[in-house]
Structure 1
Amino acid sequence: MGSSSSEIDLDRPNIEEYLSTESMQESPKKLHLRDFLEISPTLTEAAGAIVDDSFTRCFKSNPPEPWNWNVYLFPLWCLGVIIRYTVLFTLRVATLTAGWIVFFAVFIPVHFLFGEHNKWRRKIERKLVEMMCSIFVASWTGVVKYHGPRPSMRPQQVFVANHTSMIDFIILEQMTAFAVIMQKHPGWVGFIQKTILEGVGCIWFNRTESKDREIVARKLREHIQGADNNPLLIFPEGTCVNNHYTVMFKKGAFELGCTVCLVAIKYNKIFADAFWNSRKQSFSMHLFHLMTSWAVVCDVWYLEPQCIRPGETPIEFAERVRDMISVRAGLRKVPWDGYLKYFRPSPKLTVQKQQIFAESVLQRLDEK
């Protein structure tokens, strides 16, 4: 319901407070074109921020165009929903459950009977993690096509890839037991991180803790020195992007003085959108979305390894690698730091913009 004219909106300042009684009693003046043009820079800036917000577009899920728009296709779509949420989902849950039973039946005795540095324990745990990741991919009916040579275990190398979802790690892990650098997560994901994935050398961090950065940097250098360690996998964007763009790569992986192996991942949205918006959806709900879709389709390219060139800075090296991955995966580069996703702009910036606009309006009113 609309409010009456006598009601006062306490959230908005009244322009009458800035006007004298005499000016309010004067007859209104006609608005000329030059009056509008004087505030056009402000309007242009505001419209540009709304229309061309390339940062926000990096983290938006763009749903495909609906195809069930007529009387012939809608019944088929309804039939597909029933099949996906009943038959397929039931089979996939059964597959995932059977996989976990087999996994823990082998993992628990191996983990507790063998010593921490036992060679056979590490080898078996690697194979178990690869097996479990393959079962996860099967639970989405994953159709993954790998291009290029399979990564090998060598010291002084690190793998970097663009990042769309946590399932990037699962898709790559089913081929090779990577040790990944990953944000700490709560719940059942955190349990898997602490009890299972640490066995393959994964390193966890909390982006809100400044001390974690120093600890992670030290662990990175120690890991790449070990000849028997699993290949190290890093997602230098530091956050999930919607598989249409790439944001800035952090330089940490590019200042280690080792060979950088490039991995480009591109998902096909024909059956499911693999982008995980962690601010709007838990990972459990993300998996449920994938398990109730027809299939997850993607391509993975292992590109030619790169080394830093003479005179090239780590930041320039990171940008060159980002160029190669973006071109191969057909992604658009944007000059944004992905960590800005987790922070709100300072209120001082908003107040400053409001003050500048208010001063320009008051100045114009004084001239009248």
Structure 2
Amino acid sequence: MASEMDLDRPNIEEYLADSAIDSNKTLQLSDLLNVAPALSEAAGAIVDDSFTRCFKSNPPEPWNWNVYLFPLWCLGVVIRYVFLFPLRCILLATGWGIFLTSFMLVHYLLKGQNKTRRQLERYLVEFMCSVFVASWTGVVKYHGPRPSIRPRQVYVANHTSMIDFIVLEQMTAFAVMMQKHPGWVGLLQTTILESLGCIWFNRTEEKDRQIVAKKMKDHIENTESNPLLIFPEGTCVNNDYTVMFKKGAFELGCTVCPVAIKYNKIFVDAFWNSKKQSFTMHLLRLMTSWAVVCDVWYLEPQTLKPGETSIEFAERVRDMISVRAGLKKVPWDGYLKYYRPSPKLTEMKQKMFAESVLRRLEEK
């Protein structure tokens, strides 16, 4: 009997060892299945990063790669930098001189005549924006009826660069809602553009949102105010995509007039990457290009439908602008360009992962 037990013992030990290995394999496979969805999502984000793509300039394919085309490219560089750029600088300086002189005269000599003064200041800002567009040899095609001054309406447009405001302003003197900028741009905001009734905000201040919302409502109720222009994406996108629209412009209970802007990249990419380039250098790049070419479509005004939420309203308007301008929609918040994801979003992802793990444990 003892000899039989001794003979069977190695088999039992081998069996137990094999069982432990199988158990470990099952446990490892189970662990892998638990984290598979998270790994799949992470790998997908790396392979197809649709968020970063929205804020990247896509360099054009080089065409001066052979001995025949390179001399032509060099000739183009000489024409743009030696001839066109100085002429554009002279044009811009002359326009600024005329504008500043006229603006100061109107502002100080017509202090008591508010209506006449506002009208003349409007025309002067439109003139100055036209000078800017001319300094880029801008070719802008406007489609649809020209915006009119009416109460309880707001214009919303996709956003590629701060020059969007200049392109639209040369047609109609909008009061724009814009991020407060430092430097000479900030000086223009507080001195000249203030006369149009523009509204400034600061992304970093939570209390600022309530103040801005009240200013927006007061502005659209005033029958003498300039049309209010809002870029609901909240940041510059590279004119290939549209990111999520903020719902503030769609909660005002007024008519929303969509505006679609599409730049042609054949001569220059008009996208302003504010994290890598100052606005001064951005303007310099435009002034040393051949031309800035774009189309602007004023689309049919929209109102909130019965039972429709402000978020659904914003998405419907974004659909219209994206289709008209040929832009791709992505479900991203543009503010993620500047800030980390909110704790709510992080907690939601953690909760989803925990629930998936608990489901697998319950199945066992």
Q: TM-score range by the shorter chain?
A: 0.7 to 0.9
1:140 aligns with 2:136: yes
Richer in helix (by share): 2
How far did 1:277 drift? 0.5
How far did 1:48 drift? 2.0
- State which of 87, 101, 111 in structure 2 corresponds to 1:91: 87
1:221 aligns with 2:217: yes
What number of residue pairs does the alignment pair up?
Answer: 318
CA distance in 2, matches of 1:346, 1:151: 37
1:254 aligns with 2:253: no
How far did 1:279 drift? 0.4
- State which of 265, 287, 291 in structure 1 corresponds to 2:287: 291
1:269-288 equivalence runs, <5 A: 269-288=265-284
**SS of 1:63 mapped into structure 2:** coil
Change beyond 3 A, Cα 1:116–1:65 = farther
CA distance in 1, matches of 2:217, 2:32: 57
CA distance in 2, matches of 1:168, 1:262: 14
How far did 1:81 drift? 0.8
How far did 1:83 drift? 1.0
How far did 1:117 drift? 6.7
1:24-43 equivalence runs, <5 A: 41=36
How far did 1:47 drift? 3.3
Change beyond 3 A, Cα 1:45–1:157 = closer
**SS of 2:74 mapped into structure 1:** helix
**Alignment TM-score, normalising by the size of structure 1:** 0.82
Change beyond 3 A, Cα 1:142–1:116 = farther
1:127 aligns with 2:123: yes
Tell me the percent identity: 77
How far did 1:104 drift? 0.9
1:8-51 Cα offsets, whole Å, 9 max, x none, are xxxxxxxxxxxxxxxxxxxxxxxxxx99x959947655432221
1:229-272 Cα offsets, whole Å, 9 max, x none, are 11000000000000000001011110111100110000000000
Tell me the residue number matched to 1:3: none
1:209-228 Cα offsets, whole Å, 9 max, x none, are 11111111011011111111
**SS of 1:112 mapped into structure 2:** helix
CA distance in 2, matches of 1:334, 1:47: 18
1:66-122 Cα offsets, whole Å, 9 max, x none, are 111111001100111111111111011000000000001111121123327711110
Q: For 1:127, give the aligned amino acid.
A: Y
Change beyond 3 A, Cα 1:222–1:346 = closer
Change beyond 3 A, Cα 1:345–1:222 = closer
1:304 aligns with 2:304: no
1:318 aligns with 2:311: no
**SS of 1:300 mapped into structure 2:** strand
CA distance in 2, matches of 1:185, 1:48: 36
Deviates more, 1:150-159 or 1:108-117: 108-117
**SS of 1:146 mapped into structure 2:** strand
Deviates more, 1:189-198 or 1:115-124: 115-124
**SS of 1:265 mapped into structure 2:** strand
Tell me the residue number matched to 1:153: 149
Q: For 1:180, give the aligned amino acid.
A: V
CA distance in 1, matches of 2:186, 2:171: 23
1:305-345 Cα offsets, whole Å, 9 max, x none, are 00000111111000000000000000000001000100135
Tell me the residue number matched to 2:191: 195
**SS of 2:104 mapped into structure 1:** helix
Change beyond 3 A, Cα 1:162–1:191 = same
CA distance in 1, matches of 2:227, 2:113: 17
Q: For 1:281, give the aligned amino acid.
A: Q
1:169 aligns with 2:172: no
Q: For 1:108, give the aligned amino acid.
A: M
CA distance in 2, matches of 1:74, 1:224: 54
Tell me the residue number matched to 2:110: 114
**SS of 1:319 mapped into structure 2:** helix
Q: For 1:328, give the aligned amino acid.
A: R
Give unmatched runs, 5+ long, in structure 2.
1-27, 354-364
Change beyond 3 A, Cα 1:101–1:73 = same
CA distance in 2, matches of 1:94, 1:317: 46
1:79 aligns with 2:71: no
Tell me the residue number matched to 1:339: 335
Change beyond 3 A, Cα 1:116–1:156 = farther
- State which of 28, 45, 63 in structure 2 corresponds to 1:49: 45
Change beyond 3 A, Cα 1:69–1:336 = same
CA distance in 1, matches of 2:325, 2:219: 28
**SS of 1:164 mapped into structure 2:** coil
How far did 1:140 drift? 0.4
RMSD, matched Cα? 2.2
CA distance in 2, matches of 1:230, 1:38: 60
CA distance in 1, matches of 2:41, 2:111: 63
1:272-301 Cα offsets, whole Å, 9 max, x none, are 000000000000000000000000000000
1:146-201 Cα offsets, whole Å, 9 max, x none, are 00000111001000000000000000000000000000000000000000001011
CA distance in 1, matches of 2:316, 2:125: 32
CA distance in 2, matches of 1:221, 1:46: 42
Q: For 1:156, give the aligned amino acid.
A: R
CA distance in 1, matches of 2:342, 2:222: 44
